[in-house]
Amino acid sequence: MELKDQVALITGGTAGIGLETARLFVREGASVVIAGRNPERGAKAVAELADGPGSARFAAADLGDLEDVRRLAEDAGPVDILVNNASLFPVATTVDQDVETFQRLFDTNVRGTFFLTAALAPAMLAKGAGSIVNVSTMAAVMGVPGASVYSATKAALASFTRTWAAEFSPSGVRVNSVAPGPTLTDGVVVEWGDGVAELGKSIPLRRTAGPAEIAESILFLASARSSFVTGANLAADGGATAI
C-alpha cells in the first residue's frame, strides 16, 4: 500500500475526480478526509469508501467561505497530503459575465485554496515532508470560449504551484499540479452539457477522460513514486495542449 499511515485531505472529494481520487487513496491505505458543501453527498461518498483498507470521513465546508476554510484546516489537519480539487466552473462568455459569479469563482477557486494551503502547510514544513496537488485544467493555458474567469482562476493555481514549490520544497514538501482535459463527471455535464463530449472529440485521444484516469495522475503526484518531482504540471489532457 503506497499511502499507508498517510493522512490526506481532498477538497471536493465527494464527487467526480475528487471521489475517484479518494477511492484510490483509501485503496492505498490512507486516512482520507473528503470535503464538500453537501452533507448528503458526503455521507453517500463515505459509505462508498467504507471497504478500506484505508478510511474516509466527510467534513462539510464551503471553500468560498473563509470561516469554513479555517474550520476545515483545523478539523482535517495535520495532513501529509493535500489535494486542492474543489472548484466552481460555471460557463459564461466574457460579455455576459456577472460580477457576483466572477467574485464567487475567485473566492472559491483561488482565495479558498490559498488560505487552506497556508493553514495546512506549517505542519507539513515542520515535519519536513508532504505533498500538495493542485487540480488545474488544460484551460489554464488554452483559450476555451465561455471559460475566461474559470481559466484565470486555474492559471492562478498553476502559479501557486510554482511559488509554493519554491517556498516549501526546501523543507521537503512537494507541490505539483494536474491539468485535466475534458473529463466526464456529473458536475461538468451539468455546467457544460454536450460541450464536454464535443471537446473530447477534438483532442488527440479523441475522447473524454473518466474521472478515475485523472485520479491516477493525482495519486502519482501525491505518492512517493514522484519523490523527485516538484513544481511540475502534469497535463492529463489526452494531448489537448500538445497540439
Ligand X SMILES: NC(=O)c1ccc[n+]([C@@H]2O[C@H](COP(=O)([O-])OP(=O)(O)OC[C@H]3O[C@@H](n4cnc5c(N)ncnc54)[C@H](OP(=O)(O)O)[C@@H]3O)[C@@H](O)[C@H]2O)c1
Residues belonging to the active site: 150
Q: Which is nearer to ligand X, 104 or 162 (CB)?
A: 104
Instruction: State the pairing for strand pair 7-11/31-36.
Output: parallel
Closest approach of Cβ 198 to ligand X, in Å?
A: 12
Angle separating helix axes 39-48 and 16-27, nearest 10 degrees: 40
109: which residues sit within 8 A by CB, 6+ positions away? Answer: 63, 87, 88, 150, 153, 154, 156, 157
**54 in contact with ligand X (CB under 6 A):** no
CB-wise, 137 or 161, nearer to ligand X? 137
Could you give the string, one character per residue 158-187, with x where binding to ligand X holds by CB under 6 A and - elsewhere?
----------------------x-xx-xxx
Long-range CB contact pairs, 67-71, < 8 A, 24+: 69/112, 69/115, 69/116, 69/119, 70/115, 70/119
* Beta carbon of residue 14, minimum distance to ligand X (angstroms, whole number): 4
- Cβ proximity to ligand X, 18 vs 130, nearer residue: 18
> Which of 133, 153, 132, 158 shows the shortest CA–CA distance to 241?
158
Supply the minimum distance, in Å, between the C-beta of residue 122 and ligand X: 22
- Under the binding rule (CB under 6 A), the answer on residue 90 touching ligand X is no
Least distance from ligand X to the Cβ atom of residue 171, Å: 26
Select from 79, 86, 120, 173 the one that contacts ligand X (CB under 6 A).
86
Q: Which three cell numbers stand for residue 160?
A: 501557486
Q: Answer yes or no whether residue 64 interacts with ligand X by CB under 6 A.
A: yes
Spatial separation of the C-alpha atoms in residues 186 and 115, rounded to whole Å? 27
